[in-house]
Structure 1
Amino acid sequence: MIIFDFDQTLVDTSPVEHLRARRDWKGVMASAGKLQVYPGITELLEDLHAKGHKLAIVTKSPDMVPRAFIKQHGWPIDIVVGYHDVKRRKPDPEGLLLAMSKGQAVASKTFHVGDQAQDTEASRGANVTAVGVTWGIDDHADLQSSNPDHLFADVAELRKYFLGE
């Protein structure tokens, strides 16, 4: 199973960060159509799914936000764990463990892709492979110092890691 963070990993949500900080989810949803999916993400998700990988999203946002993108872009993601699905958000591993349970995944074969040190910490707590990505963030220091198992600067590198292309 490959579990993705949503914000700044799959989609550039920086234009609505001020709304997210206020938990103005209606405002986020109203602006969702203007947010950009990072180049290569949709194709990566499609190709990972075609190769038999189970895909999930675990986010600190309500699940309605990624579900809108799943529907709009036809992403082959069946498992979404959002803000309201857990009692403890990342860096607690509860969301990852819930996604793994829903997908009947084992930790030794699960990867968690995210852009923050909190993602690495959650990965460690769930005993899954921590994959850090830096394409959506300006300051990489915290992520780098969290020592993810792998660190990638662009989607092409991540693609090569998972698909060998």
Structure 2
Amino acid sequence: MKSYQAYLFDFDYTLANSSKGIVMCYRNVLERHGFHQVDDLSIKRTIGKTLVDSFSIMTGITDADTLETFRKEYVKEADQHMTANTVLFPETEEVLRALKANGARIGIISTKYRYRIMELMGKIFPEEFIDIIVGGEDVKEAKPSPEGLLQAASRLNCPKEQILYLGDSTVDAETAQNAGVDFAGILHGMTTREELAAYPHTAIFPDLLPLIKK
């Protein structure tokens, strides 16, 4: 694989395993409203989608006001439980530090809120280590809209052909395709190699280590 000027990452199931916290927060909201039959796997399969879309998928509800109520309740739950129940994958810190040491720019493009990402990453990396974080509150349209990726490319002043976007889901693959940047799939999550391979990609990796291991 060629080297890139900028490596932009999805967050959940790409850099970090936040599934424990996500399942906890969704389940607390779902149970509160009488949705007792949604299993953990169904919750995990929605990771990477917006909160509103995820609740709609899991409950069948389409009423915008109800879904917005669920979203607000989830955010309150996440404020309490998310960071404590999120861990970086074992290789994440090593890979990001190695890429940075080699002169690459590092960024995160996620549907997760930026402040939540910063809360965890700030405990591990020095301030300004991550060159850019574009969270759910920073865009008008969520992935697979290319808005977040294009915003990062512009702010980093980096040509699209020098950007690699890495993610675990078909939403991430479609986002890269829509933005016109290269994509590499990461098999940390619930999406299979075959599902990712249906989209344009430069590679599909079991984890992040191939980025720095020759």
Normalised to the residue count of structure 1, the TM-score between the two structures is: 0.89
Q: State the match for 1:94 in structure 2.
A: 147
Q: State the match for 2:77 in structure 1.
A: 27
Q: State the match for 1:114 in structure 2.
A: 167
Q: Which moved more, 1:93-102 or 1:142-151?
A: 142-151
Q: State the match for 2:90 in structure 1.
A: 39
What displacement does 1:101 show? Answer: 1.0
Q: State the match for 1:84 in structure 2.
A: 137
Q: Which moved more, 1:66-75 or 1:50-59?
A: 66-75
Share of identical aligned residues, percent? 29
**How many residues get paired?**
161
- CA radius of gyration, larger in: 2
Q: Which has the higher contact order (CA 8 A, sep 6+)?
A: 2
Paired letter, 2:151: L
Is 1:59 aligned to 2:64, yes or no?
Answer: no
Q: State the match for 2:206 in structure 1.
A: 153
Paired letter, 1:146: Y
What displacement does 1:138 show? Answer: 5.8
Q: Runs (4+) of structure 1 moved beyond 6 Å? A: none
What displacement does 1:108 show? Answer: 0.6
Q: Which moved more, 1:142-151 or 1:92-101?
A: 142-151
CA distance in 2, matches of 1:49, 1:89: 27
Give unmatched runs, 5+ long, in structure 1: none
CA distance in 1, matches of 2:76, 2:95: 29
Counterpart pick for 2:7 among 2, 18, 24: 2
Structure 1 residues 93 and 57, CA gap change in structure 2 (3 angstroms): same
Tell me if the contact between 1:58 and 1:80 (Cα under 8 Å) persists in the aligned partners. Answer: yes
Tell me if the contact between 1:16 and 1:28 (Cα under 8 Å) persists in the aligned partners. Answer: yes
CA distance in 1, matches of 2:78, 2:118: 13
Tell me if the contact between 1:113 and 1:132 (Cα under 8 Å) persists in the aligned partners. Answer: yes
Tell me if the contact between 2:18 and 2:85 (Cα under 8 Å) persists in the aligned partners. Answer: no
Normalised to the residue count of structure 2, the TM-score between the two structures is: 0.69
Q: Deviation digits for residues 72-131 of structure 1, max 9, x if unmatched?
A: 111620211011111111111000001111111110100000001111111111111101
Give unmatched runs, 5+ long, in structure 2: 1-5, 26-50, 55-69
SS at match of 2:78: helix
Structure 1 residues 17 and 145, CA gap change in structure 2 (3 angstroms): farther
Structure 1 residues 138 and 119, CA gap change in structure 2 (3 angstroms): closer
CA distance in 2, matches of 1:29, 1:145: 36
Tell me if the contact between 2:8 and 2:107 (Cα under 8 Å) persists in the aligned partners. Answer: yes
Q: State the match for 2:195 in structure 1.
A: 142
Q: Which moved more, 1:112-121 or 1:138-147?
A: 138-147
What displacement does 1:64 show? Answer: 1.1
